[in-house]
Amino acid sequence: MNSVVKIDNLVKRYKDLLALDHFSLDIKEGEIFGLLGPNGSGKTTTINCILSLLSFDKGSVEVLGKEMNPQRYDIKRDIGVVFQNVAVFNELTVYDNINYFCGLYIKDKAKRKEYVEDAISFTGLEEFRKFYPKKLSGGLLRRLNIACGIAHKPKLIIMDEPTVAVDPQSRNKILEGIKELNEKGATILYTSHYMEEVEQICTRIAIMDRGKNLAMGTKEELKRMIKTGETIEIEVYQLNETQQKEIKELPHVIDVKYDEHQLKINCSGGKHNLVRILDYLQEKEIAFGRVYSQLPTLNDVFLEITGKELRD
């Protein structure tokens, strides 16, 4: 598959701060590529470098097979951007805003009208076309922000945390919309610090922190990179240190933590981990309550790689 975005050894400094540290990335055509990292990890800087909104100190950026620079209007024609902050004119109506931003790409009036209507219907803003942005709710405003970014039907859509401060209902609608755009042929670069979103929609993910690409792959590949294959949590009323030690010695158990009647056991991949632990508790006549078992999340991946939680 062709590379839509190819970043090679990108270095960006803000005075003494190294925002991107030899960052590399390769996004293939048709992907929904997730860029996952905590706030300040360098996601927005990466996007701004891809769009040539920021200059960089070292490395190269190729978009749609061509080297990107601020004057490459031919490449820009095929890029749509949805910024983290809503970028619309408060003085223009919903329709006029979409029409304006679409008009920066599409000169043909009839075609533009058709594209604007498509964007309105895609984002469900039909009833609000004459509204001014200040009259819209947070969710609707985000949808308008998306409509302005995608109205010209670009091949590559870059979305920088488009669901920040959005209610769950609107968030689901936005995520469904992104999948739909991808199904229609657009390649999507999606950044977020919400691992659930990235896990839900992205076909491939890069985890970044402090300007570095820490790991990259499908979510399954990422999860296989870490030792934890399963996390079991059991409500246990009393557990002494000897018993904790014995549990840790059970097969596939990596780590055991007991705090405030919650027993948390990290296991490597293996069958019957839960059964084995429950058998031990019954054998030792240890009273227990609710039991949870879950496969590793991207947060576990991030935690194991960086030693901190995604939202720290």
Question: Which residues would be at the binding site for other proteins (CB under 8 A)?
Answer: 48, 51, 53-55, 70-71, 73-74, 76-77, 79, 81, 83, 85-92, 96, 100-101, 103-105, 148-149
What is the Cα–Cα distance from 132 to 91, expressed in whole angstroms? Answer: 7
For other proteins, the closer CB: 153 or 219: 153
Angle at 66 between CA 65 and CA 72, to 5 degrees: 140
Rounded to a whole number of angstroms, the minimum distance from the CB of residue 170 to other proteins is 19
In whole angstroms, give the CA distance from residue 211 to residue 206. 12
Compute the least distance from the CB of residue 107 to other proteins, in Å: 8
Residue whose CB is less far from other proteins, 87 or 286: 87
Output 73 or 237, the one with its CB closest to other proteins: 73
Compare residues 181 and 232 and give the one whose CB is closer to other proteins.
181
Nearer to other proteins, 15 or 290 (CB): 15
CB of 64 to other proteins, least distance (A): 13
Q: How far is the CB of 59 from other proteins (least distance, A)?
A: 17
To other proteins, the closest distance from the beta carbon of 90 in angstroms equals 7
Q: Which residue, 70 or 185, has its beta carbon nearer to other proteins?
A: 70
**Smallest distance, other proteins to C-beta of residue 105, A:** 5
